[in-house]
Amino acid sequence: MNIRQDAWSDKDDRFLANTILKHIQEGSTQLKAFDEVGDALDRTSAACGFRWNAIVRLDYEQEVKQAKRIRKQRMKETANHVASKLSHSKHRSSSNIHSIIAGLHQMQAELENNIHSTSPNIENDVLHLQTKNNEMREEIARIKQEYHTIKQDYDIIVTMMNRARELAMTEETIPSPNFFRMDINGNLEKIASNA
């Protein structure tokens, strides 16, 4: 049995899964994980994304859920830490209002960064999948058209062969020779014999 040189090994699949899970836990995106795996395995990030979504992800559903829980917990801990700092600052002195405001701005910036880092990538993924879907629809339409053309040609050939068979059988039963010619459409026409 021949094995393709570019086939994915179990080791490659595990590396892909572990890298994606790490990125999910850290609040990064799957696209960045695909880039990282693609660089490491000398593959395109699209090939890594296809492998993950079509095959590998099915075996890691629980791990993905756990990674998302860890990410959510880390974000919650960060928010609690900032809130705790703000609370301590507030109790120390009312003059620390500026540090409280700065902390809130920092927390807002972190949240916006997380939202912006995932949102465009999801939109990119959707656009990429829509493009692939349209390409596949066009390919299916092209193949259907080719099939229709080939079927028509096949039907014409079968019809011509049946006509030729009928004419040959008729020729055997009639003692006088028959002469035929083919018209421009490929149909056989009987020519009157000069007897």
In a domain, 120, yes or no: no
In a domain, 138, yes or no: no
CB-based burial of residue 34 (10 Å sphere; 0-12 exposed, 13-18 middle, 19+ buried)? buried
Counting the structural domains of the chain, the total is 1
pLDDT for the residue 44 = 94
* Cβ proximity of 190 and 174 under 8 Å: no
> pLDDT of the chain along its 195 residues, tens only?
555 667 899 999 999 999 999 999 998 899 999 999 999 999 999 999 999 999 999 999 999 999 999 999 988 888 888 877 766 655 555 556 777 787 788 888 777 776 655 555 667 777 778 888 888 888 888 888 988 889 898 889 988 888 888 877 766 665 555 566 777 777 777 776 654
Query: What residues make up the domain containing 47?
Result: 9-74
In a domain, 171, yes or no: no
pLDDT for the residue 24 = 92
The distance of Cα 52 from the centroid of its chain, to the nearest Å, equals 10
